[in-house]
Amino acid sequence: MNTAALLGPYHADRVLAWENGSPITYGRFLSDVGALADLLPEKPTVINLADDRYRFLVGFAAALVRGQTTLLPPSRAPGALAQIARDYGTSYCLVDGTEQVGQLPSYQIPKGTGSPTDTAKVPQIPIDHPAVVAFTSGSTGHPHPHSKTWGSLVAVARSTGTRLGLKTSDHMTVVATVPHQHMYGLEASIMLPIQHGMAFHVGRPLFPEDVRLALAGVPSPRMLVTTPLHIRACVTARSRLPHVECILSATAPLSRSLAKQAETLFQTTVYEVYGFTEAGSLATRRTVAENAWHVLDGITLHQESAGCSLQALYLREPIPFPDLVSLQGPHRFVLHGRGTDLVNIGGHRGSLSDLNQKLNEIEGVQDGVFFLPDETGTSVTRLIAFVVAPGKAAEHILSALRTVIDPLFLPRPLHLVPHLPRNETGKLTREALLGLLQELHKEERHGT
């Protein structure tokens, strides 16, 4: 049976996690994993809802040791969790708070119950074991489950670390603003550290000052794993962040102008990771320097009649891209957006991603998105936009848009809102945007 170690480089005294300025060692971690594994029930699947990144990892590792599969819900919304509970009725929950999921039994993940020892053996996990079931975000429809083997998670983590030039001797510490229950968060804030002998901050800072404090609370060198939304917030706030070796961004397109601002302000290097739930992370680029994406080692690209696909030894079969891409050889590609991203207005085709990028580059716009509502009767469907721009008038934003986009794509209307209904990974689902539109229409009818 082929296996891969739970941990890459291992030393009992090496720091794995930082909590309130205090270190938690790799030796302590293995003891905590062993203690929890002995307490887990005999069930095939588990929903790990721990907010603390270290306790999540302890639960994740203990489940692996017991041969169980961790379910990664598409969101923490009660409805989404209830659906998972119905679909996987033989599951249980691991928690570090009081959260419950339907009638599923819940178990608290204890902290520090194990006794650190220098003689603990690093568990070996079968590479074909289904380590997680991840769900598509549901941004364009109903979430769908996708199983990920332990071997695939290890391969992606090792290849990503190699691409970024990470060395075990660097003692890098990751601070992440993304949830670890999300594939990108799991890969970049959990798998990347444990496969490269790195450490991570146990929390999940959200606001610029929280990010600054979290970075200040861990030793250098540091890596920030985040999203374009958080990068924009830190740049807008002119945050004085402690030095970070690099910033890793994913979950949404990052504009070159914002990447350049971040590199200049924080004196760092900004990389983007591209991936999707079906395949995991698969390519990187330095946004300010290149438009094309370079796939991770071990991945090859193929042009098919219906689009492009990718292959890797850890994938059971070729995986088609959900996005429109053009290949530049077997290892590089240019991303053009999703097929569902293209809109046709008055016979003119446009990309919502491109329109969103131009909208968010307007001075004073903190966040914004174009949206194409459902067609109603015989009326002409027009794009609308939701924009967060405190102190700015709608006409100011429309005037700026007129200089950079085709007049046919101007939003009618443009709604100024206090915030957008982004989920915890920074994404906007169609359902959430429809809900926002309905709420605005309701307010208009009531004259508020």
The amino acid occupying position 412 is R
Buried b (16+ CB within 10 A) or exposed e, 70-87: bbbbbbeeeebbebbbee
- For residue 255, the model assigns a pLDDT of 86
- For residue 377, the model assigns a pLDDT of 46
- For residue 118, the model assigns a pLDDT of 64
**Long-range Cβ contact pairs of 394-397 (< 8 A, separation 24 or more):** 396/364, 397/359, 397/362, 397/364, 397/365, 397/368
Q: How far apart are CA 393 and CA 416, in angstroms?
A: 8
Residue 213: which pLDDT band, with cuts at 50, 70 and 90? very high
- For residue 137, the model assigns a pLDDT of 60
Q: Is 184 helix (H, G, I), strand (E, B) or coil?
A: helix
* Selection from 78, 22, 84, 83 nearest residue 54 by Cα: 22
**What are the backbone angles phi and psi of residue 82, rounded to the nearest 5°?**
-65, -35
Task: Give the tens place of pLDDT for each residue, 400-439.
Answer: 999 988 888 899 899 999 999 988 777 888 888 999 998 8
**CATH numbers and ranges of domains, the chain:** 3-337 (3.40.50.12780), 346-445 (3.30.300.30)
Is residue 54 a contact partner of residue 17, using CB atoms and an 8 Å limit?
A: yes
DSSP 34: H
- What is the average pLDDT across 379-391? 83
H-state helical runs in 133-224: 150-163, 183-186, 192-195, 208-216
Cis geometry, peptide bond prior to residue 123 (ω within 30 degrees of 0): no
Pairing state of beta strands 293-295 and 332-338? antiparallel
- What is the average pLDDT across 342-363? 80
If you write DSSP's letter for every residue of 99-115 in order, what string do you get?
A: ---TT--EEE--SS-S-
- For residue 111, the model assigns a pLDDT of 74
Is residue 275 a contact partner of residue 285, using CB atoms and an 8 Å limit?
A: no
- What is the average pLDDT across 215-234? 95
pLDDT at 171 over 70: yes
pLDDT at 296 over 90: yes
Pairing state of beta strands 45-48 and 69-72? parallel
- What is the average pLDDT across 305-315? 88
The amino acid occupying position 447 is G
Q: Is 302 helix (H, G, I), strand (E, B) or coil?
A: strand
- For residue 378, the model assigns a pLDDT of 42
Cis geometry, peptide bond prior to residue 242 (ω within 30 degrees of 0): no
pLDDT at 292 over 50: yes
Q: How many helices (H) and strands (E) does the chain have?
A: 12, 27
* Selection from 180, 200, 198 nearest residue 134 by Cα: 180
How many beta carbons lie within 10 A of that of residue 327, not counting itself? Answer: 14
Q: Is 216 helix (H, G, I), strand (E, B) or coil?
A: helix
DSSP 427: -
Mean pLDDT of the chain: 89
Q: How far apart are CA 181 and CA 277, in angstroms?
A: 12
Backbone Cα Rg of the chain:
22
More confident residue, 248 or 80: 248
Task: Give the tens place of pLDDT for each residue, 115-152.
Answer: 666 678 999 999 999 999 998 765 545 678 899 999 99
pLDDT at 328 over 60: yes
Q: Rounded to whole angstroms, what are the CA distances from 183 to 187, 189, 380, 398?
A: 6, 10, 39, 36
**Type and span of the H or E element at 264:** helix 256-266
- For residue 312, the model assigns a pLDDT of 94
* Length of the chain counted residue by residue: 448
Buried b (16+ CB within 10 A) or exposed e, 330-351: ebbbebebbeebebebeeeebb
Point out which residues pair with 368 in neighbouring strands: 387
Q: How far apart are CA 394 and CA 387, in angstroms?
A: 9
Q: Tokens in use for 245?
A: 């070796």
- For residue 346, the model assigns a pLDDT of 61
More confident residue, 278 or 118: 278
pLDDT at 445 over 90: no
Q: Rounded to whole angstroms, what are the CA distances from 223 to 142, 175, 187?
A: 33, 6, 14
Task: Give the tens place of pLDDT for each residue, 71-102.
Answer: 998 877 787 888 888 889 899 999 998 777 87
* Selection from 332, 338, 329, 221 nearest residue 284 by Cα: 332
